[in-house]
Amino acid sequence: MAEEGHKVSLHVYDLSHGLARQLSMSFLGKTIEAIWHTGVVVYGREYYYGRGIQEVVAGTAPYGTPMRVVDLGNNIPDYILNLPNEVTSSPMGALIMPMIQNLETTLRAGAVPQAPQFRQSPVTNQLNWSTETESSKIQASKEQTSGKDEDAKPNVDPLGDARSKLQEEIGMEFAAIMVTGTFRASEAAALATKKVMQKYGHINMNAAQS
């Protein structure tokens, strides 16, 4: 008689504990259900990635109660595998990814993580150059006219300061978590974002109640 196979399941966790669903539309422009993390369960043991591959008794991983338990076939479900692509394709994801990549490179080299610096992408720099060139043309045209009132005002992003402050706070939280050496860069990014999201989520809730 053929030997009976062993059941393999996937414990699916939400690192944000519900905050991703509540606040992702505000931050990413789209709703994501959770910040996924998973553990593979077999032989009564659970294997997950933290500081390297970790092994614990099934159901005792440090991420709380699984959001769901999936009986595994050949692969991990696509909605989990595709989440990084969904986040990195958003405007906020495009800002976070260079920070994660730089810190992963630093960790591989064995160096101590430093506070990340946000850099504009080549596309952004090109847009800024085009805007400056166009502004110069407009200014030159105005100087050639005779004493007309200048009604036009430069376009200002009303959320610019808020985004900069948010990026700075996420970066500081991220660097502080990475220095502990407990989490991977991707996990540290998720936890740092969660802390800042939770902070501003509480502020917004208190403001709404008052």
CB-based contacts of 43, cutoff 8 Å, min separation 6: 6
Supply the pTM of this predicted model: 0.40
pLDDT digits (tens, 9 = 90+) for 171-207: 888 888 888 877 777 777 888 888 888 877 755 555 5
Measured CA to CA in angstroms, residue 29 lies from 5, 15, 20, 49, 208 at distances of 44, 20, 12, 29, 21
Instruction: Give residue 123's pLDDT band: very low, low, confident or very high (50, 70, 90).
Output: very low
- Strands 68-71, 52-57: pairing kind: unpaired
pLDDT digits (tens, 9 = 90+) for 62-75: 888 899 998 886 55
- Residue 96's pLDDT is what? 78
Closest CA to 121 of 139, 143, 151, 99: 99
CB-based contacts of 195, cutoff 8 Å, min separation 6: 173
Q: Which residue has the higher pLDDT, 46 or 92?
A: 46
Q: What is the third-level CATH fold of 1-87?
A: endopeptidase fold (from Nostoc punctiforme) (3.90.1720)
Q: What are the extents of the domains in the chain? A: 1-87, 90-134+158-210
Instruction: Give residue 105's pLDDT band: very low, low, confident or very high (50, 70, 90).
Output: confident
Q: How many of the other CB atoms lie within 10 Å of CB of 161? A: 10
Under a CB-based contact definition with an 8 Å cutoff, are residues 196 and 169 in contact? Answer: yes
SS3 56: strand
Phi, psi at 180, each rounded to 5°? -65, -20
Measured CA to CA in angstroms, residue 183 lies from 76, 128, 154, 168 at distances of 22, 36, 44, 20
Lowest mean pLDDT among 11-15, 123-127, 142-146, 167-171: 123-127
- Residue 76's pLDDT is what? 67
